[in-house]
Each structure stands twice: as C-alpha cells, then as structure tokens.
C-alpha cells in the first residue's frame, strides 16, 4: 500500500521533474532583437561590416570600371590585429557572395582541384587563357579598447581596400567602425 | 541626473540647395506606433549608382530628446514582385541622437531589383 502511494506521488510529480530538464533553446535569426552582445567580435559585426563594405563598393562604381565586366576579384589577406582568434572568411565570404549575386564581380578560384583542372585544360588545348584578376581585396581588422572605471568601450575597425594590380593603385577604400560599450560587473566569477 | 541621456543635436546646412532629391511616394504599415512616434520616417528618395543599381535613402527624425536605438533592414524585389535573395539582408543596428535627422541608405543587391521595403524594429 505504501509502495502504491509512493508510485502515485512520483507519477503525479513527474511533469515537474521533467520540466526542469527542458531548455528554452530555439532557432534565432542573425541580428535579431535577442542577439547576445558581448565585447567580443561576433557574427553580427561581420555582417554589418560586410554590409557597409558592399554597399559603399557598389555605390562607388569602382568595380564597374573594367574592360570585360564582370570584374574578376581575388581575395587577398585580411590582417587580424585584434586580440582574438577570428576567421576572416566570415567577412570576406559575405562580401564575395554579395558581389557575385550583384553580377558585378566574380571571384578567382581558390579550390586547388579546380585550379589543377583549369591548368590541365589549358595544357591540353595548348592555350593560356588564365585571366589575371582585375582587382584584389585586402584589409585589416583592428581592435581598440578604452577604459574608464568599470566602463569599457571596444571599437573594431574593419578596413578594406580594393586594389588594381595592373595600375598599382587602390581604387576604393572603406572603413566600418563598430563600437561596443558596457560596464564590467563589480563581482566577477 | 534626470536630464542624463537627453542630448539633442543642433545642425546647419546650406539654404540654397544645388542638389535635387528625387523623392518617391511611400506606403507605410505601422504596427509599432510607439517607435514611429519617436523615430519618424520623413521621406524616401532614390537614385542610381554609376553601375545602374537602384539606391534608396530614407530620412529619419528622432522626435524625442533622447537617443533612440533601432534595427532596420532592406528587402528588395524584382520586376515580378519576387523577393531577391540577398546575403546581406540581416538587421542593421542604428542609433539616432535626440532631435537628430539622419539618413540611412542601401543599394540594391543586383540590377533586377525594382522595388524595396524597409523594416524597422526597436532595439532592446
């Protein structure tokens, strides 16, 4: 009888116990209202920087000034001058996708297999059709930190340059600054 | 202390304008009246980039005396009214000082874009 009562109580209480195991994990959209803002560079910062760069680049018309459009672009080095380990593809890939979608530029192959096949094709057909890039895209991400008391402001500067390797000049430059400010908690764990 | 955060903006501009803005009529759907009262849409004008892409500029005005933070994003549509896929369509955080007038703009993601829609949402 005691066992029966105990089992009944356990059955009645089980939803309470199981509820405790549930999480509020759910899908979110990048850049939505719920986004977590930390002092670290995050996916939203890359999206903002890429958005600003593409907008300014397309608006400038610099990429339209090529003899055979669409322009051929080669992604060069993005120097990371922050104290964080970052994957700069999060920035450059967004830019190259957006430029490809715009129809204004194509990016040079970076896949070694595809490059090998291209060279093989050129050799077999006895032709040199490899087109040199019209532009290269290079840049730098810089982090600066200012502190006053417990307030900390971190600014990330995303600097990008579109270089014309034939003329040896930079035909476009853009910079997007993203600042984040917050207070350090009085007690840290 | 009560006035903390209430910083407004003074501005000056040339009275005789050389540039003419090509204003376009707009259609608005307001679901957050509170945000619309604080950050109002003044007008929209458009132009073309040197490469033939549609460029849209929206003028906003902060009707309050304190800084307002919001998110916005542009959506683009082709001649058939279909939304154009855009990798950079995420919300863009923006802020506007008290009584400030500010422009935001975007450039169409490709040459097929004919129409647009801008969405605003209050930031937390």
Planar angle of CA A82, A42, B117, nearest 5 degrees: 130
In the prediction, which pLDDT does A7 show?
60
Q: Cβ separation of A33 and B106 shorter than 8 Å? A: no
Q: Which residue has the tokens 């490899």?
A: A130
Q: Phi and psi (nearest 5°) for B26?
A: -125, 165
Pairwise pLDDT comparison (A8 vs A71), residue with the higher score: A71
Q: What is the pLDDT of residue B73?
A: 92
Chain A residues closer than 8 Å to B111 by CB: 102-103
pLDDT in tens, B50-71: 999 999 999 999 999 999 999 9
What CATH number has the domain bearing residue A101?
Answer: 3.40.50
Residue A95 lies inside a defined structural domain of this protein: yes
Best A33, A52, A59 residue to mutate vs chain B (most B CBs within 10 Å): A59
* A89 has a chain B CB within 8 A of its CB: no
Q: Greater confidence, B85 or A16?
A: B85
Q: What is the pLDDT of residue A3?
A: 63
Let me know if residue A7 belongs to a domain. Answer: no
A176 touches B at CB < 8 Å: no
Q: For residue A5, tell me if it sits in a domain.
A: no
- With contact defined as beta carbons under 8 Å apart, do A185 and A165 qualify? no
User: Is domain B23-122 classified as CATH 2.60.40.3230?
Assistant: yes
**Chain A environment of B109 (Cβ under 8 Å):** 98, 101-102
Q: What percent of chain A has pLDDT over 70?
A: 85
Quick: pLDDT tens for A104-114: 999 988 888 88
Does residue A61 form part of some domain? yes
Cβ pair B87:A63 closer than 8 A: no
Task: Give CA–CA dist A128/A32, Å, rounded.
Answer: 49
State which residues form the domain around A53.
40-183
In a domain, A1, yes or no: no
Is A33 within the bounds of a domain? no
Q: What is the pLDDT of residues A120-159, one digit of tens each?
A: 888 888 877 678 899 999 999 999 999 999 999 999 999 9
Consecutive H or E run containing A10: helix A2-19
Q: What distances in angstroms separate CA A169 from CA A26, A28, A78, B34, B44, one per listed residue?
A: 48, 42, 18, 49, 36
Q: Where are the domains of chain B?
A: 23-122
Which residues are within 8 A (CB) of A132 and not within 5 positions of it... i.e. 6 or more apart? Answer: A72, A165, A166
Number of domains in chain A: 1
A6 inside domain: no
In this complex, is the C-beta atom of A78 within 8 Å of any C-beta atom belonging to chain B?
no
How is residue B84 written in tokens? 């154009």
Domain membership of residue A15 (yes or no) is: no
ipTM above 0.90, yes or no: no
Residues A98 and A55: beta-carbon distance below 8 Å? no
């Amino acid at each position: 009888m005691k066992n029966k009562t105990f089992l009944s109580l356990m059955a009645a209480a089980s939803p309470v116990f199981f509820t405790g195991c549930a999480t509020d994990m759910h899908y979110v959209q990048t850049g939505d209202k719920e986004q977590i803002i930390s002092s670290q560079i995050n996916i939203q910062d890359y999206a903002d920087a890429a958005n600003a760069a593409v907008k300014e680049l397309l608006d400038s018309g610099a990429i339209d000034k090529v003899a055979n459009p669409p322009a051929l672009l080669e992604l060069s080095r993005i120097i990371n001058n922050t104290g964080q380990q970052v994957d700069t593809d999060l920035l450059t890939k967004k830019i190259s996708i957006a430029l490809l979608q715009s129809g204004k530029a194509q990016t040079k192959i970076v896949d070694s297999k595809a490059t090998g096949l291209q060279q093989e094709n050129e050799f077999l057909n006895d032709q040199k059709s490899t087109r040199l890039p019209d532009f290269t895209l290079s840049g730098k991400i810089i982090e600066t930190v200012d502190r006053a008391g417990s307030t900390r402001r971190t600014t990330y500067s995303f600097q990008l340059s579109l270089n014309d390797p034939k003329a040896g000049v930079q035909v476009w430059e853009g910079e997007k600054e993203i600042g984040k400010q917050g207070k350090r908690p009085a007690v840290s764990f | 202390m009560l006035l903390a955060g209430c910083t407004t903006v003074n501005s000056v501009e040339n009275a005789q304008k050389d540039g003419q803005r090509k204003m376009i009529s707009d259609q608005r759907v307001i679901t957050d009246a509170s945000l619309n009262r604080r950050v109002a849409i003044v007008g929209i004008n458009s132009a073309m980039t040197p490469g033939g892409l549609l460029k849209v500029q929206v003028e906003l005005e902060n009707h309050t005396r304190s800084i307002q933070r919001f998110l916005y994003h542009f959506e683009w549509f082709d001649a058939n009214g279909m939304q154009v896929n855009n990798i950079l369509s995420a919300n863009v955080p923006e802020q506007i000082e008290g009584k400030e007038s500010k422009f935001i703009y975007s450039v169409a993601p490709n040459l097929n874009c004919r129409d647009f829609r801008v969405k605003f949402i209050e930031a937390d």
